[in-house]
Amino acid sequence: MTVRESTFFGFANPVDPRPEELQAWAYHPEAVPLDAMPSDWDLLISGDVLAPVLFELAMDRQCPARRFAQHCMYIYAADGVRQNATGQRKRRLKKYVERAEEVGDEPMQTWAYNCRVLMSRPELFDYADWIEGGLVRNPRRLGLYNRR
């Protein structure tokens, strides 16, 4: 299933975009470049409300903002693995991981694999990889042993 493209008319509130606004922007990211957004925009939007849209965008090979959506899904996953994450967040994350394993391409299967590694070994969390985009800029499957 691919997210449908739509016309982007701007964000009513960029700090709290509606799902349909985020989806429309993702197919026209030049309309509002990322460097024009708040510096922590990725952190602000990587929650439960926008996760379904972000996941679909990350799965869509044709989406111009796909790498950004994948980055947000890494943030979402890291938050979902925390010890104090809600059971609902953990269940949703598991469903996204399973779907990426079943129908995702290589980048999303790598995301799913890395999520499973982090779920089984949360001590392997690395801020630069999961929150600052390292696993999107330098795609790789994490080993089960920390390489520090």
Identify whether the C-beta of residue 110 lies closer than 8 Å to the C-beta of residue 129: no
| Alpha-carbon gap, residue 77 to 38, rounded angstroms | 21
72: in domain: yes
143: in domain: no
* pTM metric for this prediction: 0.91
Residues 132, 138, 141, 144, CA torsion sign = negative
148: in domain: no
79: in domain: yes
Mean pLDDT by 10 residues, the chain (148 residues): 63 92 94 88 96 98 97 97 90 97 98 97 95 97 67
142: in domain: no
The total number of structural domains that make up the chain = 1
Residues 6+ away with beta carbon under 8 Å from 86 = none
14: in domain: no
3-state secondary structure 34-70: HHHCCCCHHHHHCCCCCHHHHHHHHHCCCCCCHHHHH
| Alpha-carbon gap, residue 102 to 59, rounded angstroms | 12
pLDDT of residue 27: 95
Domain range holding 113?
19-137
From the CB of residue 6, how many other CB atoms can be counted at a distance below 10 Å? 14
Identify whether the C-beta of residue 19 lies closer than 8 Å to the C-beta of residue 53: yes
pLDDT of residue 8: 84
pLDDT of residue 127: 97
